[in-house]
Chains A and B, each alone.
Chain A
Amino acid sequence: QSALTQPASVSGSPGQSITISCTGTSSDVGSYSLVSWYQQHPDKAPKIMIYEVTKRPSGVSDRFSGSKSGNTASLTISGLQAEDEADYYCCSYAGSSGWVFGGGTKLTVL
């Protein structure tokens, strides 16, 4: 069970859009529509932003969207705001191996 692969960092200016990729395998991301995304600000607990690949929990801005193609899931944040600066983690169900997280991506809003 290896961690999902995410870019270590991404950046964007306010108002721009960014996309964070999350690459797994046919045993996790590619096999299940159970990919979720979490936002974590420094010294805080993670917060769920996306579940089941594309769904947003109540209260999460519609600037956040998710998608999946094959073994790669993506999180897109449109209309970047300063408050979006945080670490983002993807997570996928992996069948008999349980759940696996990505290595995390640090988003910097320039």
Chain B
Amino acid sequence: QITLKESGPTLVKPTQTLTLTCTFSGFSLSTSAEGVGWIRQPPGKALEWLALIYWDDDKRYSPSLKSRLTITKDTSKNQVVLTVTNMDPVDTATYFCTHIGFSAFDIWGQGTLVTVSS
């Protein structure tokens, strides 16, 4: 059974860097074809894909946010970390990590709400 859980700060100040950790179980990111992605959802708004990382360290980023995002993995800890630089109030959202399966986001974490405010 695959599970994922996001962790990180619930409140960050404008201009700060956000670091979120996704801790997962039920699969290994050292196994071929496995991947983990990050998706966010501002309150009352739509889902937005941010980034993903595959077992072979292939990384993909949203073109509109690429300059501010970094995704990394720690295979030994079963964790994926997303950093977002220069946070702004418009980045206030619930951030989800997901497993990539069936060429889609098949298993989701519960999400973590991050508020950007001074």
A residues whose Cβ falls under 8 Å from a Cβ of B: 1, 3, 34, 36, 38, 45-48, 51-52, 55, 57, 89, 91, 93, 97-104
Contact = CB atoms under 8 A, between A and B. Distances in A.
A102 B46 contact: yes
Q: How extensive is the interface on chain B, given as a class?
A: 20 to 34
Interface of B: 37, 39, 46-49, 52, 60-64, 96, 102-106, 108-111
Contact of A38 (B47, B48, B109): B47
Given A51-B103, A52-B102, A91 B108 contact: no
Contacts of A100: 49
Contacts of B103: 34, 36, 51-52, 93
A101 B49 CA distance: 7
Given A38-B105, A51-B104, A102-B46, 14 more contacts: A1-B62, A1-B63, A34-B103, A36-B104, A48-B105, A51-B102, A89-B46, A91-B49, A97-B62, A97-B63, A101-B39, A101-B47, A103-B46, A104-B47
Nearest to B64: A1
A3 B52 CA distance: 18
Given A48-B104, A51-B102, A98-B63, A89 B47 contact: yes
A104 B46 contact: yes
Contacts of A55: 102
Nearest to A90: B47
A35 to B, nearest CB: 9
Contact of A46 (B47, B61, B62, B102): B47
Instruction: Name the residue among B105, B109, B111 with the largest chain A CB count within 10 angstroms.
Output: B105
A38 B110 CA distance: 15
Nearest to A2: B64
